[in-house]
Structure 1
Amino acid sequence: MLDAGLRDELLRRMERDQEVRTRVPLSEPWPEEVHEECWVVDTDNTAFLKSVIAEHGWPSHDLVGEQAAHAAWLLVQHADQDLEFQKSCLRLLQNAVDAGQAKPSDLAYLIDRVHVGEKRLQVYGTQYHSPDGILMPRPIEDPERLDERRAQVGLEPHADYDRTMRELYG
């Protein structure tokens, strides 16, 4: 049964997350105050999501709707200050994907985020960085089969994603 209050709160929190992150044009470096505000928002969202998961489990499509389930993924994706929490959400999100209650592409992004946090090779090529001011994907395992893996989870070919990333952030 849909929990409209939880759905609305997840969507509100996603909106706030994105408002802070898009305040500065993507091609410009963030001022320190934006980094600090982002940290405050992420810390608060992580605590909120931990309480939601403790009470309800992973916020599934049936519980909060598809858009708010995606919002829950976004909140955990941005919980970089708590890698252990992100790792614990991998299993929950995998179970939700297996039950048709979450998007495989969301799981792919979280897998890559956790791998990067653990200083491992990413699987789907979703995470980028800008060493020396040049936007590039973080190291990827088995790059020859990257597009095959991306297609399996509903992601576009990496060349298309790379082009979009460079248009937005490069």
Structure 2
Amino acid sequence: MQHPDIAEILISLRNADLQLREQLIRKGVLSDGYNDEMKQLHDANAAKLDSIIDRIGYPTPDKVGKEGGDAAWLIIQHAIGQPAFMKKCLKLLEKAVGENK
């Protein structure tokens, strides 16, 4: 793994997302539409991941480990308010897959 520090950041962002989701489930409000707090977290996580991508490229397992790569994928999937970011990531992911990364 080339960037263990970035892997830790990605895992932390993923954990914050999942923790907030769990809190909203416990409150019984997760299915009441797109929660403002969740949207803010998703947007912030997407911005942080976008910055990481600008520095190291798509966070493949060889760069950030399997868990870090999985965390990045979750962040991308949850960035529903950022379609341009999602499209950017799709292109990068397709390239990484084509290179067997």
**TM-score when normalising by structure 2:** 0.86
In structure 2, C-alpha distance between the alignment counterparts of 1:5 and 1:77, rounded to whole Å = 22
1:121-154 deviations in Å (ceiling 9; x for gaps): xxxxxxxxxxxxxxxxxxxxxxxxxxxxxxxxxx
Say whether residues 1:25 and 2:25 are aligned partners.
yes
Aligned equivalent of 1:52 = 52
In structure 1, C-alpha distance between the alignment counterparts of 2:24 and 2:88, rounded to whole Å = 31
How do 1:60-99 residues align onto structure 2 when only pairs under 5 Å count?
60-99=60-99
Q: 1:64 to 1:87 in 2, by over 3 A?
A: same
In the TM superposition, residue 43 of structure 1 has moved relative to its aligned partner by 1.2
Find the residue that maps to 2:25 and give its secondary structure: coil
In structure 2, C-alpha distance between the alignment counterparts of 1:44 and 1:25, rounded to whole Å = 21
The number of residue pairs the alignment matches comes to 99
Greater C-alpha radius of gyration: 1
In structure 2, C-alpha distance between the alignment counterparts of 1:21 and 1:93, rounded to whole Å = 26
In structure 2, C-alpha distance between the alignment counterparts of 1:94 and 1:31, rounded to whole Å = 32
In the TM superposition, residue 86 of structure 1 has moved relative to its aligned partner by 0.4
Aligned-residue sequence identity (percent) comes to 30
In structure 2, C-alpha distance between the alignment counterparts of 1:25 and 1:40, rounded to whole Å = 17
Q: Which amino acid aligns with 1:73?
A: W
Q: Which amino acid aligns with 2:49?
A: L
Consecutive unaligned residues in structure 2, runs of 5 or more: none
Q: Which amino acid aligns with 1:2?
A: Q
In the TM superposition, residue 97 of structure 1 has moved relative to its aligned partner by 1.9
In the TM superposition, residue 31 of structure 1 has moved relative to its aligned partner by 7.6
In the TM superposition, residue 83 of structure 1 has moved relative to its aligned partner by 0.5
Consecutive unaligned residues in structure 1, runs of 5 or more: 102-170
Q: Which amino acid aligns with 2:10?
A: L
1:21-76 deviations in Å (ceiling 9; x for gaps): 122338x44287x8121111111111101111111110011110011101111111
In structure 2, C-alpha distance between the alignment counterparts of 1:100 and 1:25, rounded to whole Å = 37
The one of the two structures with greater contact order (alpha-carbon pairs below 8 A, sep at least 6) is 2
In structure 2, C-alpha distance between the alignment counterparts of 1:31 and 1:77, rounded to whole Å = 17
Give RMSD over aligned pairs: 2.0
**TM-score when normalising by structure 1:** 0.53
